[in-house]
Structure 1
Amino acid sequence: MSAMRRIERVGFVGLGAMGSGIARRIMDAGHCLTGWNRTKAKAEDLLAAGMGWADTPREVAEQCDVVFTMLTNTAAIEANAHGEDGLIAGLRPGSVWADLSTIAPDTSVALGEAVASTGAFYLDTPVSGSPATLAAGQMSVMVGGDRAAYDHVEQLLHAIGPKVTYIGPNGHAILTKVAINLSLVVSVTAFAEAVTLVEKAGVDRAAVVDAALKSVIASPVIGYRAPLLVDDDEVYADVELQQKDLVLAQELARRLGAMVPTCSAASEMLSAARSSDLADRDFLVSVADVYRRAAGVIR
């Protein structure tokens, strides 16, 4: 495989809420950036700040030494990876594609093999956190793939967040992210259940949230999500997006013959929450709505 290219220009495909925030941090770190998004209007602020524009994912890859992608799911990554205008068609020997998305582990491994055939390098680099975590400079990044390719882009990854961990071969970072998000969704769902239980008993919901934020369960995710039960003013991930990660865990468990009972229970609650009138809100708010209606706290 070819030697890696000196990093002169960085590309970014997928400029939604999280992608645009990461792209901004890369630019703020002093890197020249070229971007593409299906809806160009979402990139207006970045373009005004000096980001270059490419008309297709392929053009991003052709122009850049390192390309990041941050897309919704496995289907979106595959749609932008393959074909005449896809990323793989534009990769050059020695360039690096780092995918920040959370996708099916098997797909990530297959993409690594396809990219290797071009002489380029593929890294699965899923992130853990939210736009709030990103804005606070506390995003974490996990990396799977060629160790030399990781070493090559490590400082660039630190522009995204201070906590960067090399996990192992292609696919292993995605597997780790699936495990982390399984735990995240289960814990947040359990929090909604617990708050509803004591609210039904007459305890003030705002007081419960305040106490929880001062207790041993005040993890980072509870820290920024719990206040949404009092003031629903932010959407970090809606129920459909968050359930995708549980489905990945369930599919992996079926394939491996492993048990994930709490994952399955949480996924059932998220399925119910998809029918909530608040399904477009953060998934904690949607799940809490289901629990509260079932308990008769609200009607």
Structure 2
Amino acid sequence: MKIGFIGLGTMGAGMASNLCEAGYDVTVHDLRRENAEPFEQRGAQWAPSVAELATNVDVVFTSLPGPVQMRTIAYGDDGLVENLRPGTAWFDLTTNSPTLVREVHEACTERGVKLFDAPVSGGPEGARTGKLAIYVGGDEAAFSSHSDILNVIGDQVLYVGDIGAGNTAKLVHNCASITIRSAIAEVMTMGVKAGVEPAALWHAMRQGAIGRSRTFDRIGGRYLREAYEPASFALELANKDLNLALELAEHFDVPMELARVAQKDFLEGLDRGWGKRDSQSPLALQNERAGVHIKLTADEVQQVLDRG
């Protein structure tokens, strides 16, 4: 089976590497020619164009920044829709717009191509180690026939439903994550301003019903330490996901008051030039508004985590 992989950025490089490691016949393409060189050294082939890659593979993966890039890759005489052979499976790993994915799916179906939206969750480290959740939307029978390949790049491959369901699930996940973090900053500043020490307050929060699910652990490495660089998940990327989630909610007439509050903070962070900083960086805006300084050392964070 011949596999094509388009998009060798931070996430795509890790996933493509695991496919090469598993012994698959892989052909790669990226806007930056140099990004492909490590894969060629491992036996992968280089395709100078999307069209050339499309005509020579049985399965294609795309890992792109967002909807604009997916539309560009999909359409035109040199795009995937025109050049993939009937029977080819296309897994778009991009966190994307469900509306666009359904549009491209319709065009693919007319040509006998099986498109799946399959966004991933787990970050760059998960991409390198294969510890990713993959939320898949599309034809269930065709999905099942490609499970072996998907299991190479992710350890939690989840079939969610029809086309568009994968990105809906991913956007729900990311929007919840973004919104919860904003709520945490709000209550943290309230508690600290009321006189509770940050470490004690955080420990108390973690021992409550929600806290025991470890919802709050992830803020220890970033928000509580004011450590936003280098980014694990950049603000500009999280803002794209939040915007996509809000578009989806608007489409179904779902009110998203807290998410829109979070969006305002994201936009302010971007205006301050924080786009490359971690997506938790806008939580610092709540600290400013409340007139509270919260900063734990790495040792203080670890001490709380060690308490269980």
Question: Where on the TM-score scale, by shorter chain, does this alignment land: which range?
Answer: 0.7 to 0.9
Percent same amino acid at aligned positions?
32
Q: Which moved more, 1:209-218 or 1:20-29?
A: 209-218
TM-superposed CA distance for 1:290, in Å, is 2.0
RMSD between aligned alpha carbons?
A: 2.5
Residue in structure 2 matching 1:228, options 211, 222, 227:
222
TM-superposed CA distance for 1:282, in Å, is 0.7
Q: How many residues align?
A: 290
| 100 and 251 in structure 1: CA distance in 2 versus 1, 3 angstrom threshold | same
Aligned to 1:264: 260
Q: Distance in 2 between matches of 1:182 and 1:271?
A: 15
Report matched runs for 1:1-299 at 5 Å: 8-197=1-190, 217=211, 223-224=217-218, 226-229=220-223, 230=225, 231-284=227-280, 286-297=281-292
What 5-or-longer segments of structure 1 have no aligned partner?
A: 1-7
TM-superposed CA distance for 1:161, in Å, is 1.1
Amino acid at match of 1:33: V
Secondary structure, aligned partner of 2:222: helix
Q: Distance in 2 between matches of 1:64 and 1:73?
A: 23
Amino acid at match of 2:287: R
Q: Distance in 2 between matches of 1:60 and 1:235?
A: 32
Normalising by structure 2, report the TM-score.
0.84
TM-superposed CA distance for 1:278, in Å, is 3.5
Say if 2:4 and 2:27, in contact at 8 Å, map to a contact too. yes
What 5-or-longer segments of structure 2 have no aligned partner?
A: 294-308
Say if 1:184 and 1:221, in contact at 8 Å, map to a contact too. no
What whole-Å deviation, never above 9, does each CA across 1:271-293 have from its counterpart, x for those lacking one? 12112354321110x21332233
Q: Distance in 2 between matches of 1:138 and 1:130?
A: 9
Secondary structure, aligned partner of 2:60: strand
Secondary structure, aligned partner of 1:167: strand
| 173 and 277 in structure 1: CA distance in 2 versus 1, 3 angstrom threshold | closer
What whole-Å deviation, never above 9, does each CA across 1:23-58 have from its counterpart, x for those lacking one? 112222221211111112233332332221111112
Q: Distance in 2 between matches of 1:211 and 1:46?
A: 48
Q: Distance in 2 between matches of 1:46 and 1:212?
A: 46
